[in-house]
Amino acid sequence: MKIALVQADLTFEDREANLPRYRKLAKRAAAEGARLVLFPEMFATGFSMAPERTAEPASGPTVEFLGEQAASLGVYLAGSMPFDRGDGGRATNRFVCAAPDGSLTTYDKIHPFSYGGEDLHYAAGDQRTTFQIDGVRLTPFICYDLRFADAFWVEAERTDCYLVVANWPAARQEHWSTLLRARAIENQAYVVGVNRVGEGGGISYAGGSAVIGPFGEVVAEAGSEEQLVLAEVEPGRVAEVRARYPFLVDRSPQRTEEAAVRAVQALG
C-alpha cells in the first residue's frame, strides 16, 4: 500500500485558509498513486491551546473536508483535529481517518502534552484503535504519544504499521527522528511519522517526516521544507522480519511458543 505524507506549513488557527491548501496536496498525492494520505496533527488549525475557538463536532468542516475528499479522490485521508465531544466536557485531540465509502475511524490522543499545557485544555483518550486498509493493519498515535513505548508495545502483534501525526517542535527534532526509529525497531513494524513545517503559535517546526521499516531502515524521509513523501508499506515485510528475528515473543513469556508459531505461519 502506498502512503503519502503531507509535510506542509499552515496558517495558525485559520481553518478557512488551511483546508484549501490541503485539498490541493491531497489531490496531488492521489494522482501519484497514494492509497492513504496522511496529514499532520491539527492540520486545519495548528497546535492550538484554544479549543473554545478551534474545536468542532463530527459534523464540522474538518471532518466534512476529509469525507468529501476521500469520496472524491477514492483514497483514505487522515489527520488530527480539536474535537468537541458535545458533552460539555473538554475537547480531545482526535485522529480521524475517512474512507472513500464515508466511514470514519477515530482515536483520541491518550497522552496530552502536559509540558505545553495540552492537558489543561484537552481530555486524554482511553482507547487505542487498530484498523485495516487493503489488508494493512494500522494503529494511529498522535505526537507526544511517540515518547511512550508501552502504548506501542501492547499493539505490536496486531499492527503492521503505526501512524504518527505530529506538530513536533524543531527544538527537539533529534528526539523525533530517534523515537520514530526506536518504535519501529522494538516493535518490528513500520512507523510512519508526518510532521509540519513553518511557524505557529510561537513555535518553529522542522518537518523530518519519515517512513521507517520494520528492521529500523529509513524507507523515505523529508527535509525541513514543504514536501510530499510517498512510500510503500508491505505487511509481508513485517511478517518476514518477525519470523526471522522473533524478538517480540520474549516480551510476554506466556505467549512465547504460540507467537513464534504464528510468526512462522505468517510467511505462508
Among the listed residues 109, 118, 157, 221, the single catalytic one is: 109
**Residue 161 is among the residues annotated as catalytic for this protein:** no
Give the CB-side neighbour count of residue 150, counting CA atoms within 13 A.
Answer: 2
What totals of helices (H) and strands (E) does the chain contain, helices first?
8, 14
**16: CB partners within 8 A, 6+ apart:** none
Q: What is the CA radius of gyration of the chain?
A: 18
Q: What angle do CA 119, 125, 127 make, to 5 degrees?
A: 155
The DSSP annotation for 129-162 comes to --EEETTEEEEEEEGGGGG-HHHHHTTGGG-SEE
Among the listed residues 41, 118, 157, 221, the single catalytic one is: 41
Among the listed residues 97, 118, 143, 161, the single catalytic one is: 143
Tracing cell 474545536 back to the chain, one arrives at 55
**Residue 97 is among the residues annotated as catalytic for this protein:** no
**Residue 109 is among the residues annotated as catalytic for this protein:** yes
Nearest to 45 by CA among 61, 29, 58: 61
**Catalytic center residues:** 41, 109, 143
